[in-house]
Structure 1
Amino acid sequence: MERQHNSVVRTPLNSVVVQRRSKSKSYRQSYRSCLGAASRLGLTPALTARRLNTSRRAPKSHNITDKVDPEQLTLLLKTEWKLSYVTPLYQFRHTQLKSYSRQLSAFIAAEKQQGLAVDAEGSQSSFRVSFSVVQGMTETADDAETVLIQIHSKPMFAKQDDPQKLVWSGWLACINGNPDYLSSLSKDFICLPLFGSSGPEVLTTLVKSWFQQMFDCCFGPLEISHTSLQWLVALWTNCHTESNIQHLRMIWTLPVTPPLQITYTVDAQDAWELWSSVRKDPEEESEGGEEVEEGGSIDLKEVMRFMQGLKNHFYRHFRLDLSAGSLQQVSTALGSAKYSGRIKISNSRYMITTLTLLTECALLKMPI
């Protein structure tokens, strides 16, 4: 282990049918009206305990390259995304994506005339928006298909035959969403709680504004919490034997004056051996005669033991207790994640595992 110190196309239909009275009603009013008495008390049936799962399935390799369009997959993998959560969309339909493309293009053009839509590299002559379904990115029948949004343009003084270039991209997804929560929604609402964006912030703002006006939804920032980052450390390390993680790099911040940032890099094999030593015996998982699925499950106690082992090793060598600080970033060859809500997924085989955790985070962050 080494150390660095830095001072530096499916729209699911649910069984609950409730007629919404008026589209002008706020999200909270309309959303709660769909969920009955529990919602009127400020609770939803599926989210009464608002915390991350304490146990989840061990990562399983998914060969999504056979199902997902190669161009879409390349974009999803090569880009660092800024995450947000988004509340359920009212009357969003996957069958209307061409219409949404035209409407969002017109909306951006109208805002551009007011001087609001300006690309980071200079004024653009026009914007072309495209919505598309990312086939093969759902895990359950309740998950709505992932939607990819791309905005192309070219500089104001570009030649007529110059191709437009991609200036902004984003997506909305629901991967392994909580089934109780999803089934509690009215059929008029589609849940795509995880939103990723890449490109000029002004275009991100315009896209969110259009969605809010069109689908009566709300967006909010989605940080990747200290606990969620620790889950990613364990989940990605668990994949090492099938997909070499190459390294485990963590950035910690200690609350001293001035703040101390520590980069802690662990050899992949060392991380794997430590992880293997804290994993439960499969026979323990099957206590009570319950059948254990292939790969087993991972519980929070194992994650905490693994993290404590990493912190103990660091303390023995450098006499610094990382428990006093907070985990800000984690990266392996499978991807990187930051507390600020930025994620980059570098390996398609475990994209579903990562997006499942992030979908759970987004659902828990949404206001009820």
Structure 2
Amino acid sequence: MFKFVSGFCAAAADTPNMERHCTSVTRTPLNSVRVQRRSKSKSYRQSIRSCLGAASRLVLTPALTARRLNTSRKAPKSLDITEKVNPEQLSLLVKKEWQLSYVTPLYQFRHTQLKSYSRQLSAFIAAEKQRGLAVEVEGTHGSFRVSFGVVQGMSEADDDAETVLVQIYSKPLFAVKDEPPRAVWSGWLTCINGSPDYLRSLPKDFTCMPLFCSSGADGLSSLVKSWFQLTFDCCFGPLEISHTSLQWLVALWTNCHTESAIKHLKMMWTVPAASPLKVTYTVNGPDAWQLWSSVRKERHDGSNKEEEEEEDSIDIEEVMRFMQDLKSHFYRHFRTDLSAGSLDQVATALGSAKSSGRIKIANSKYMITTLTLLTECALLKMPI
């Protein structure tokens, strides 16, 4: 029923020295105020702050610092978000691998000023290039143009700020006449179902889009982050996907099988040994669903009508039981205890996620569920 891909182990045994293995107008959140243009001197004065200095504008907020990862979530359901979100914009977000970061709330960011931000970031990159600090992108002639836009319709709650998409364009080095520039870097900031207690506790000048996704040259990512930090007095940090969050994704994506018919559930584990053992564990989609259904059935056996109405929620106990059953089955067949290891990667037809903080969303119908989890992770990772 379950497939174990053993190539990593066999190879590792033979090599002991190797590791085994568009500009639009939309709302900024309701607690924001009218646009106030900041002076250049004030911007630069604030830009000198360290991450801790930037965070000091926000007092420690019990609504954030006392929180932990939720122990119950709504079961994902197919949602055609193309009814709310422009399909062309949506296509820029799916089927591409993104590197995740968290970002603290932006000071005096305004969704109504995106044209100005496009010009400012373009000028910033050009200035850094003159100083010899700007990154060169292979295959381009080095001149960059920036576009900020709003991905309207992504927000789920009234307190969520609309998603902002940033793209950097450059012409190919040997472009023919009138050939348009191509996107060489993309990034977006979003907040999906953010904690209402925390969002409402923010001072009125702050906009919270804690999840930052980037794709492109690391040098351009660094420049974009530097500009945001200088302009909006925020700070960025890496957002890894924890062992527990990866297990949540295993359960949430498996729960989608009846609507999406996933073919396989693929997990990659690292098991401690003299030479760390890399294990790839692949389960057929229908078998994973059968096991998940048995876990769900155990929960609801003997439940009353009110409890049955709550079947659209998934509890952490179900997730842990599902993972334990998967690990127990693996141990029976291969005498390897995955409980001693760590889950590093999860992949299904709906997407993939890595503990290093890389995510790919392959199906937009379930992306809101995934982004809700990642938004929560980003809020919890912020050092304030």
TM-score by length of structure 2 reads 0.87
Q: Does 1:281 align with 2:322?
A: no
Of 232, 245, 255, 1:228 maps to: 245
- Deviations along 1:132-157, one digit per CA (max 9) or x if unpaired, are 00011010000000000011101345
Question: Which residue number corresponds to residue 107 of structure 1?
Answer: 124
The one-letter amino acid of 2:145's match is: R
Q: Does 1:301 align with 2:317?
A: yes
Q: Does 1:352 align with 2:368?
A: yes
Go from structure 1 to structure 2 and tell me whether the alpha carbon gap of 1:285 and 1:276 turns closer, same or farther (over 3 Å shift): farther
Contact 1:15 1:183 in 2 (8 A): no
2:164 and 2:147 mapped to 1: Cα distance?
10
The count of corresponding residues between Structure 1 and Structure 2 is 356
2:149 and 2:125 mapped to 1: Cα distance?
18
1:331 partner SS: strand
Contact 1:285 1:296 in 2 (8 A): no
The one-letter amino acid of 1:136's match is: G
1:343 and 1:248 mapped to 2: Cα distance?
16
Of 342, 346, 350, 1:326 maps to: 342
> Which ranges of structure 1 fall in alignment gaps of 5 or more residues?
17-21
The one-letter amino acid of 1:303's match is: V
Shift of 1:57: 1.0
Q: Does 1:183 align with 2:224?
A: no
The one-letter amino acid of 1:347's match is: N
Question: Which residue number corresponds to residue 86 of structure 1?
Answer: 103
Q: Does 1:3 align with 2:19?
A: no
2:378 and 2:80 mapped to 1: Cα distance?
25
1:47 partner SS: helix
> Which ranges of structure 2 fall in alignment gaps of 5 or more residues?
13-20, 34-41
RMSD: 2.3
Q: Does 1:365 align with 2:381?
A: yes
2:301 and 2:89 mapped to 1: Cα distance?
38
1:110 and 1:48 mapped to 2: Cα distance?
38
Go from structure 1 to structure 2 and tell me whether the alpha carbon gap of 1:124 and 1:285 turns closer, same or farther (over 3 Å shift): farther
2:257 and 2:203 mapped to 1: Cα distance?
41
The one-letter amino acid of 1:336's match is: S
Go from structure 1 to structure 2 and tell me whether the alpha carbon gap of 1:322 and 1:144 turns closer, same or farther (over 3 Å shift): same
Q: Does 1:316 align with 2:332?
A: yes
- Deviations along 1:302-355, one digit per CA (max 9) or x if unpaired, are 000000000000000000000000000000000000000000000111000000
Q: Does 1:169 align with 2:169?
A: no
Go from structure 1 to structure 2 and tell me whether the alpha carbon gap of 1:158 and 1:362 turns closer, same or farther (over 3 Å shift): same
Go from structure 1 to structure 2 and tell me whether the alpha carbon gap of 1:110 and 1:325 turns closer, same or farther (over 3 Å shift): same
Instruction: Describe how 1:1-368 pairs up with structure 2 within 5 A.
Output: 1-5=2-6, 6=8, 7=12, 8=21, 9-14=26-31, 24=45, 26=49, 28=52, 31=55, 34-35=58-59, 39=60, 44-122=61-139, 124-279=141-296, 280-281=299-300, 284=303, 292=309, 295-368=311-384
| The 10-residue stretch of structure 1 (264-273 or 275-284) with the greater mean CA deviation from structure 2 | 275-284
1:155 partner SS: coil
Identity of paired residues, percent? 71
1:193 and 1:183 mapped to 2: Cα distance?
14
- Deviations along 1:93-125, one digit per CA (max 9) or x if unpaired, are 000001100100111111111222233315534
Contact 1:246 1:268 in 2 (8 A): yes
Q: Deviating runs (4+, > 6 A) in structure 1? A: none
Contact 1:45 1:184 in 2 (8 A): no
1:66 and 1:157 mapped to 2: Cα distance?
39
Shift of 1:243: 1.0
2:56 and 2:195 mapped to 1: Cα distance?
18
